[in-house]
Amino acid sequence: MTSYPPGGFYPFDIDVFNEPGPSGVLVDPTSLQIDITYGSASGADYAGPYTYAGGSVTRLSTGMYRFGWNIPASAFAGVYVATWTAVVAGSTVYGFESIDVEGSGSAAPVLADTGWWTGSLTSTAGSIPLGSVDANGIAWALCGVDGMDGVPTVGQVLQRAGDHGGYATQQFYGPRPITLRVVATATTQAQRDTARAIMQQVVPVSDLATLIYNEPVPKTLKVRRSGVLKEASDNPLYVAFEVGLIAPDPRKYGASYRATTTANSQVLGITPPLTPPILLPAQAPPGSLTVTNAGNFETRPTIVITGPITAPAVYNQTMGRLISFSALTLGATDVLTIDLLNKVATLNGSPRSADLGSSWWVLPPGTSQIVLQGAAAVGATLTINYSDAWM
């Protein structure tokens, strides 16, 4: 391919026929235009479109047309593709021609290939807007995600002693491995290197970053680096990443966080000591919440109880499980937080043990009825913070 200098001239010619093959004859199209892109026919628009009707394209003879391109003096080195679009007898036909430009020291056109999928990767070091262009002018394309489907299981089958087969022990989902394939497109080599530094910084080694993947229902996971963060680049304006991640919690959560609160205005429930089984009326009692997990897998909320209340307890009426603190009295400014994912409770930030008979519970898919139990509970509040969960 011959290279042409910036500031030079190049004629793009097209011959329009009424049909393909040797039997076709030259005809004038109903309409004709030419557009020039950088890198490929689907690359960033660089010049045009120019039309015959607008006077930019010249008719040489029947079916023969030319566009004389004065190559800008600022043109960056690379391939430029001219795409002709002609309408002949109601049908649209295309023609392509490419030239190589020697280029100058000016910046290349922004290719801004952001791909089809969107999301984000955010940590304390910053954020990468996947499927978008960031404040630096870097285009981040999410080209593929592995690991958003199945999750490895952890468990085993023990061989029977002196017999065929084995015993199926309990089995659980393990951490979720994820691989992101991301391409960053820049306008300069220095900007490309900025993209490399951003990726290395945003993906943490020990801390957890937040990955949002915009499926039709957006999903959120907490992730950190796993294995080697690979880079590949075949030109100064482009770098492809293969990012290995691990999500300790394999659940895919809804991108929005739900917070539901009820305030109590009377004495609720029963007075300790508590003797199971504990039976509650079928109707929703005072101080109860109806919460809905719209996902397909159980989610584990964080519960916040504020005083005043004596012997607080939180009862999952749907599952028939209770978490109680029979020896505890909360004042008006005291806060009891129960983390059902990590199975810990804190009183004003300090660890606090639940009663021995307590059972940690979850919010299964669908609707659950949650009841705040306790004595002298006037003014106490129960808040349940959770996200829908999928596996």
Residues 228-268: tens digit of each pLDDT: 999 998 777 889 999 999 999 999 999 777 767 665 544 44
Distance CA 332, CA 309 (A): 8
pLDDT of residue 377: 65
Distance of CA 110 to the CA centre of its chain: 24
pLDDT of residue 113: 67
pLDDT of residue 280: 44
Distance CA 92, CA 32 (A): 10
Distance CA 299, CA 363 (A): 5
Instruction: Residue 110: name the closest of 238, 300, 279 by CA.
Output: 238
CB 32 within 8 A of CB 84: yes
pLDDT in tens, 308-342: 999 999 999 999 999 999 999 999 899 999 999 99
Distance CA 180, CA 183 (A): 10
Q: Which of these CATH numbers, 2.60.40.1930, 3.40.630.30, 3.30.310.50, 1.10.510.10, describes 3-101?
A: 2.60.40.1930
Distance CA 266, CA 377 (A): 6
Q: What is the pLDDT along the chain (391 residues), one digit of tens a residue?
A: 567 888 889 999 999 998 887 888 999 999 999 999 877 666 667 888 899 988 899 999 999 999 999 998 878 777 888 999 999 988 888 899 988 888 654 445 445 667 788 999 999 999 999 999 898 889 999 988 999 998 999 988 999 999 999 999 999 999 999 999 999 988 778 888 999 999 999 999 999 999 999 988 899 999 999 999 999 987 778 899 999 999 999 999 997 777 676 655 444 444 445 455 544 444 444 568 889 999 999 999 999 999 899 999 999 999 999 999 999 999 989 999 999 999 999 999 999 999 999 999 999 999 999 988 888 667 788 889 999 999 9
Distance CA 90, CA 74 (A): 38
Q: Which residues contact 205 (CB under 8 A, 6 or more apart)?
A: 224, 225
Class of the CATH-defined domain 119-156+166-254: mainly beta
pLDDT of residue 44: 66
Instruction: Residue 105: name the closest of 77, 132, 127 by CA.
Output: 77
pLDDT of residue 279: 47
pLDDT of residue 238: 82
Instruction: Residue 386: name the closest of 306, 284, 316 by CA.
Output: 316
Distance CA 36, CA 7 (A): 16
Distance CA 45, CA 6 (A): 17
pLDDT of residue 70: 93
Q: What secondary structure letter does DSSP report for 300?
A: -
**Same CATH fold assignment for domains 119-156+166-254 and 258-390:** no
pLDDT of residue 268: 42
Domain boundaries, the chain: 3-101, 119-156+166-254, 258-390
CA dihedral 205, 206, 207, 212 (to 10 degrees): 50
What sign does the CA torsion over 353, 356, 357, 359 have?
positive
pLDDT of residue 189: 84
Distance CA 185, CA 236 (A): 9
Distance CA 350, CA 368 (A): 29
Q: Which fold has domain 258-390?
A: Jelly Rolls (2.60.120)
pLDDT of residue 53: 87
